[in-house]
């Protein structure tokens, strides 16, 4: 076997890694450690995501229950929107963001006041927010008043929706002309 001839292979010693080889053991240990760390990180992220989704669901459910309770047990009272106030909520964002706050007055039996801000409706200009709010000034709306505390009231979005001449767009569609 030591002879080299045509068509013959020279005998070379090939080392096959064995489990007892320290290099193979350390490489396996490092690979196992890295995979374990990645798996732990993935599980932590998955657990955080599950927790966040659970909190969101609980929050929305509580909010829906609260509004259902308000609708069914709080007294409907007529109120008049007297003050329209625009607030800047840009807070360092690159583009401006304005919200409109409506202040209403009602009697139950004494004169009371409440505020309403539609956080789903955001404006890019102060003028648009002012024009949207101006359509409600002087208008009569129905507010819900807590029977246990007449100073506690709420104006629901559904109670103001019928007066809104600027409905929120449901969807935007774009078509490409060929």
Note the pLDDT tens digit of each residue in 100-151: 888 999 988 888 888 888 766 788 888 888 888 888 899 998 888 888 888 8
Q: Which two tokens stand for residue 138?
A: 């002087």
**Three-state DSSP string of 27-96:** HHHHHHHHHHHHHHHHHHHHHHHHHHHHHHHHHHHHHHHHHHHHHHHCEEEEEEEEEEEEEECCCCCCCC
CA–CA distance, 134 with 94 (Å, rounded to integer):
27
pLDDT of 104: 92
pTM: 0.54
> How many CB atoms neighbour CB 120 within 10 A?
7
């Amino acid at each position: 076997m030591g002879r080299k001839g045509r068509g013959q292979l020279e005998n070379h010693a090939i080392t096959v890694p064995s489990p007892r080889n320290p290099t193979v053991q350390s490489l396996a240990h490092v690979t196992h450690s890295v995979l374990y760390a990645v798996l732990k990180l993935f599980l932590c992220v998955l657990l955080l995501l599950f927790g966040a989704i659970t909190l969101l669901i609980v929050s929305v459910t509580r909010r829906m229950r609260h509004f259902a309770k308000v609708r069914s047990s709080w007294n409907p009272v007529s109120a008049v929107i007297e003050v329209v106030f625009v607030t800047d909520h840009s807070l360092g964002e690159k583009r401006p963001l304005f919200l409109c706050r409506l202040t209403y007055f009602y009697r139950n039996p004494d004169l009371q006041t409440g505020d309403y801000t539609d956080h789903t409706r955001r404006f890019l200009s102060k003028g648009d927010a002012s024009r949207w709010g101006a359509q409600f000034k002087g208008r009569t709306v129905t507010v819900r008043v807590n029977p246990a505390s007449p100073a506690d009231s709420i104006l629901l979005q559904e109670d103001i929706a019928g007066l809104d001449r600027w409905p929120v767009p449901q969807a935007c569609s774009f078509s490409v002309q060929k």
